Amino acid sequence: MKRPVLLLAALVLAGCGDANRAPAGLQGDAARGRIALAQYGCRACHMIPGVTGSKVYVGRPLEDMAKRPIIAGTLPNNQANLVRWIRDPQAIDPHTAMPVLGVSERDAIDMSAWLLSH
């Protein structure tokens, strides 16, 4: 009699795992990206879905990123451009207030996977 319950629990757990995965077509590990967004201190200037911190508005809130046609006022929004921006915003806009934070390529890909799926 216990088996159906265990099976159900396993299915529920498998479902939770999928929720952390980026939608098809995105590179990277969104769950790891969420941690990287916290570790690099992006939250000091941006509100980010799923990353806790106080309310800040230095940069725009990074929610619904997948719905934006343009990022940072200049770049067409796609994963490659998001990674470029995160790694070196000053190369794209020398006047931007966003600093270069030394984000590795892998971390930037993972961050973009989180941002484009939340």
Binding site for ligand HEC (CB under 6 A): 37, 40-42, 44-46, 58-60, 62, 71-73, 82, 85-86, 93, 96-99, 101, 103, 111
Cβ 73 vs Cβ 79: under 8 Å: no
- Provide the minimum distance between the beta carbon of 40 and ligand HEC in the complex, in angstroms, as a whole number: 4
**Interatomic CA distance for residues 52 and 59, integer angstroms:** 16
Please report how close the Cβ of residue 23 comes to ligand HEC at its closest, in angstroms.
Answer: 18
Nearer to ligand HEC, 20 or 93 (CB): 93
For residue 110, count CB atoms less than 10 angstroms from its CB and return exposed for 0-12, middle for 13-18, buried for 19 or more. buried
Residues 105, 87 contacting (CB under 8 angstroms) = yes
Residue number with CB closer to ligand HEC (10 or 44): 44
Question: In 3D, which of 111, 98, 87 has the Cα closest to residue 36?
Answer: 111
Minimal distance, residue 13 CB to ligand HEC, in Å? 29
- Pick 29 or 85: Cβ nearer ligand HEC: 85
Which H or E element spans position 71? strand 70-71
* Rounded least distance, CB 27 to ligand HEC, Å: 15
